[in-house]
Structure 1
Amino acid sequence: MRRRRPHARLLLTLTALLGLSLGTAPTATAATTTPEDRGTALPIAYHCDLAVDQLHQRVFISDYNTGTVLVADYQGRLIGTVKNLPGVCDLELSADSRTIYAPLALGDAISVIDTGTAKERARHSTGAGTVPFHVALSGQTLFFGYGEDWEASIGSLTLNTTPPRVRLGLVPEGDFNGAPLMVTSPAVPGRLVAGDQRTSPGSIGVYDVSGTGLVERTWVREPGGSSAFNDLALSPDGKTLLTASGGVYHHPSFRLPDMKEGHTYPSTTYPTAVAASSRGDIAAGVDSTEPEPDIFLYRLGASSPYRTVTLAPATGYNNGGLRPRGIAWSPDGTRLFAISEHNDEDHLRLVVVPSAHKPASG
């Protein structure tokens, strides 16, 4: 059934500005870290996503504007660039860490990048005018969010056929305003979660994956009071969805597949990013406008952070901080990578937070 399209609103809604609770700031008992090294200056002013490859110990950073993917090592040093990727956005790592799948919004294609050589291995067309932005991998099927405005939908690309088969229109147009964010988990291979990144209040759809198709299980408008979603992540067991939304000043979680609201991770203004490690650590990132932490690190289900991270000393009000979707754990869960921006600079920075994991007994 086609849903009635809601009116598009600004990302920061009037409701958020006037009435939403600021929440309770995390307690000051957590260890706070301000990296002495402000990180590596990147030759870009914008980024869309980052992925961390444990096999080769590399970090991949996509830039939509320049159509490039930067490659850095685990120390944050730039070691390469993948070029000619028009409109590159998401970076989805394969289960064996040997391949990255990257949608090309300005190329109507999915790029297949070899993580070992840092070169494009193949490129698969998704169809003229599809404009793919976001991807999520489930087994041998790559799902991609594509399209613009209320003509957006979800498609799929089968990776175990030659050539890969493309399917479009797996959800009705009008469900999402623009290509939706999507997440999957190998722990629950038959499930895909998609969220609206452009409309407030935000919407979340939970789907069963059947072959290359989608069967809707749950559809929720404005879960937990959220506006448009800046980021989504799944817990290690794939049973909990974690969200970052600028409309609520904390990071809520939701039980899957019914989207019942669960544990809340306190943070501060304008959450921009969230990431869960394989060890059960949660990184909750915000767009800090004052000299205060940009990232809060929690054990799964904890009420207080065990550590906070300030990406750089503030030199003035609204000096910048964490980029949207700007944090990622290494697959082994021991270190955290962050993309920071500052108003006094015309480039982004890659910051490495080593030893970010806290043992459960600690």
Structure 2
Amino acid sequence: MSKVQHFRRSAALFVAGVLGATGLVGATASQAVAATPADTAVKLPVTNFSALAVDSAHQRVYVTEGPASNPTPPAVHVYDFDGRKITSISTPAAASGLDVSADGTTLYVSQPSGILAFDAATLEQRSLTSASYDTCGRSLAVAGGRVWHTSAYSFGYCDSAYATLGRLSEPAQNTGWGDYGRIQLFGGGPAAPDRFYAAQPANSSAPNPFITAFAADNDDPVRGPERRFAGEDGKGALDFKDLAPSADGKKLAVADAAAGTRLLNADDFTDAAEQYQPLPAGAKASAVAFSGDGKYVARGAAAYGSTPDLLIQPANPADTTAPLEFAFEGSLDGSEIAPRGLEFAADGSRLFAVTSYGSQFWLHVITPPAAQYDARFSGDLTQSPSSAVVGEPVALRGRLEFDGPAPADPTKVTAVREDADGKTELTPVKFAADGTFTVFDVPDKVGEATYRVSYLGDLTHRPAADVVRTVQVGKAPTTLTLDAPDEATMSAGVVIPGTLTATGPALPAGLTLTVRRTDRLGTTELAPVTVGADGAFTLRDTPRTIKSATYTLTWAGDADHRDATASATVLVRR
């Protein structure tokens, strides 16, 4: 098992083991469960990767190398669902495309001179049917009870060679369809067995590559919807890497290295109303697959370092449950998901992923969680300090409870503050092993602020119902201090230095204080005093009479700060 995959596994495995008797985190005990994801990585004996196929009926996984590396000896490599190698099937020449018949009885393998058929149970060769010679790595798909394949002949220019679409028969049948590049074919899946898709990778002869669909219920395929993605300015063209129909056949996911994972309506290739969230920054889409049970979609990518290369998440894009993330980081298990390198078992119990690192390749057997469990916030949020003021930190504390196993680490809650200025997303925060968390914020507006804290779930837990707390944010306190002398003289005058300080937002520049002097002749308003940038000021006055004089300084406050007043009494002598 790889130790560098950052799908937050190690903590989850540890907690699941420790809590195996309780199966509950941050709540009362419940029944034990084992739903933690697992990953087994197997080094493949290849220096190139061409195709991956899964035979769920016989629990086998097939991998081919293609002609690019001129494998010796050429073969199809066969593994079981636990990643153990069963055998290698020898082929006369380099094997490239793979597919399994709808009834699970036949494995089809393409090679330069034609299509090999093997008994899926015994792996014995049944036939080799000739087709137009191919030097570029023939793609194939089974649909409508027929085998469809490409043929391209080129010496060193396969990326832009002309590829024709053929139907497996004796003699070989060319359908008349074709275009430039390494055209890739994909079956429509159990929900659309009489349909297959063709997709064109980017190449110098096709500045605006396409995807299209064919009806395959007779010997002459009928092209259905087609789409190209570049705009009138030529920008936005498809950089095709992989394609997968959803389990119900209604959607089509396209791995586009330029745009990420596109989700289309399968009937007309228009954009689906709901799309998946973008891949992590720096990750370029390379592969996509849906689980046969309709629960999950796996999205593969090429990404650097600790950026996730694989996301497994609910197939419904409206489900905001956080994805399970894998980051493959190097020579132990690969650094990225290979194009077309993802396939699920039919029941969704396993995901098979091919990763690459230079000319090295690995097969990963990933077991997603078997079930999802509930999560909830325990009680209300508590606030500290009890009186919030603008510009000063406020902490909101809460606790999450989880049925089933512990969430994968790290797990986070998200929070949004809504005030008179609108909504502000706060930085997500992790929660501790016991489910406790603290959301920190510095409110920047006086008045009512409503905090909504959310847990979007993970692959094993459903989202929790949001918890909400409304906080009254007051003005920040201010303080006026005076350093007045006890006595002064009429001739020398009164000098009183002082400072104005405040918490929260910085005080505005150039503010002034009102000044009143009260002596035995009455009360008089003096000229205002200006406060410096550092909050310091100095009051200077020439008393009009002897005996006590009281000086009162006042700041009226502003939208963010409270008012402040201070007084000092000075004995005035001649």
**Please, what TM-score do these two structures have when normalized by structure 1?**
0.78
**Residue 57 of structure 2 aligns with which residue?**
55
The question of whether the paired residues in 2 share the 8 Å contact of 1:298 and 1:306 is answered with yes
Assess, with a 3 A threshold, how the Cα gap between structure 1 residues 203 and 56 changes in structure 2: closer, same or farther. Answer: same
Higher alpha-carbon deviation: 228-237 or 302-311? 302-311
Alignment partner of 1:169 out of 154, 165, 175 = 175
Contact 2:286–2:301, Cα closer than 8 Å, also in 1: yes
Match in the other structure for 1:308: 324
Q: How does 1:55-204 map to 2 (within 5 A)?
A: 55-64=57-66, 65=69, 66=71, 67-104=74-111, 106=112, 108-128=113-133, 133-148=138-153, 149-158=160-169, 164=170, 166-171=172-177, 173=178, 175-199=179-203, 200-204=207-211
Query: Distance between the aligned counterparts of 1:211 and 1:360, measured in 2?
Result: 46
Q: Secondary structure at the match of 1:45?
A: coil
Query: Which one of the candidate residues 279, 286, 289 is aligned to 1:272?
Result: 286
| Secondary structure class of the residue paired with 1:133 | coil
Instruction: Report the AA paired with residue 209 of structure 1.
Output: A
Match of 1:288 in 2: 303
* Cα 1:99/1:347, change in 2 over 3 Å: same
Residue 298 (1) aligns with residue 313 (2):
yes
How has the CA–CA distance of structure 1 residues 90 and 357 changed in structure 2, closer, same or farther, with 3 Å as cutoff? farther
CA distance in 2, matches of 1:314, 1:178: 28
Task: Tell me the residue number matched to 1:5.
Answer: none
Q: Distance in 2 between matches of 1:276 and 1:117?
A: 28
Residues 1:241 and 2:257 aligned together: no
User: Runs of 5+ in structure 1 lacking a partner?
Assistant: 1-29, 159-163
Match of 1:323?
338
Q: Is contact 1:81–1:118 with CA below 8 Å preserved after alignment? A: no
CA contact (8 A) 1:109 1:124 kept: yes
Determine if contact 2:143/2:188 at 8 Å carries over to the other structure.
yes
Aligned 8 A contact 1:299 1:358 in 2? no
**In the alignment, what sits opposite 1:351?**
364
Cα separation, partners in 2 of 1:85 and 1:301, compared to 1, 3 Å: farther
Task: Pick one of 207, 232, 250 that aligns with 2:214.
Answer: 207
How far 1:96 moved relative to its partner? 2.4
Structure 1 residue 132: Cα displacement: 6.2
Give the SS at the match of 1:76: coil
1:117-165 CA-to-partner distances (Å, cap 9, x unmatched) read 233321110134586611111132111122254531211125xxxxx45
Whole-Å separation in 1 of the counterparts to 2:60 and 2:284 = 29
CA contact (8 A) 1:223 1:261 kept: no
Give the Cα separation in 1 of the matches to 2:39 and 2:212. Answer: 40
SS in structure 2 at match of 1:51? strand
Determine whether 1:256 maps to 2:271: no
Q: Deviations over 1:225-274 (max 9, x none)?
A: 452311111011222111112111x2111112311011322323211100
Q: Distance in 2 between matches of 1:231 and 1:356?
A: 25
Q: Is the 8 A contact 1:49 1:90 kept in 2?
A: yes
Kept after mapping to 2: 8 A contact 1:323/1:341: yes
How many residue pairs align between the two structures?
Answer: 319
Q: Using a 3 Å threshold, how does the CA distance of structure 1 residues 120 and 331 change in structure 2: closer, same or farther?
A: same
Identity between Structure 1 and Structure 2 (%): 25
Aligned equivalents of 1:181, 1:55: Cα separation in 2: 22
Say which SS state the counterpart of residue 213 (structure 1) adopts: coil
Contact 1:32 1:307 in 2 (8 A): no
> Structure 1 residue 302: deviation in Å?
2.2
1:13 maps to what in 2? none
Could you tell me whether the CA contact under 8 Å between 1:109 and 1:132 is conserved in 2? no
In 2, Cα distance between the equivalents of 1:218 and 1:307? 31
Instruction: Determine the C-alpha separation between the residues in 1 that align with 2:345 and 2:101.
Output: 14
- Who is 2:566 aligned against? none
Q: CA deviation at 1:31?
A: 6.5
**Secondary structure at 2:194 match in 1:** strand
Structure 1 residues 300, 46: closer, same or farther in 2, change over 3 A? same
Higher radius of gyration, 1 or 2:
2
* SS of the residue 1:152 aligns to: strand
Classify the secondary structure of the residue corresponding to 1:261: coil
Aligned residue type for 2:141? A
Partner of 1:24: none
The whole-number CA distance in structure 2 between the counterparts of 1:309 and 1:119 is 39
- One-letter identity of the residue aligned with 1:214: P
| Cα distance in structure 2, aligned partners of 1:32 and 1:85 | 44
Counterpart amino acid of residue 146 in structure 2 = T
Secondary structure of the 1:127 match is coil
Return 30-39 or 178-187, whichever deviates more. Answer: 30-39
One-letter amino acid of the counterpart of residue 348, structure 1: F
1:217 matched to 2:230? no
Instruction: Say whether the 8 Å CA contact 2:187–2:193 is kept in structure 1.
Output: no
**CA distance in 2 between partners of 1:333 and 1:36 (Å):** 14
Contact 1:80/1:118 (<8 A) preserved = no
Deviation at 1:115, TM superposition (A): 2.5
Higher relative CO (Cα under 8 Å, sequence separation at least 6) belongs to 1
CA 1:38 to 1:75, structure 2 compared with 1: closer, same or farther past 3 Å? closer
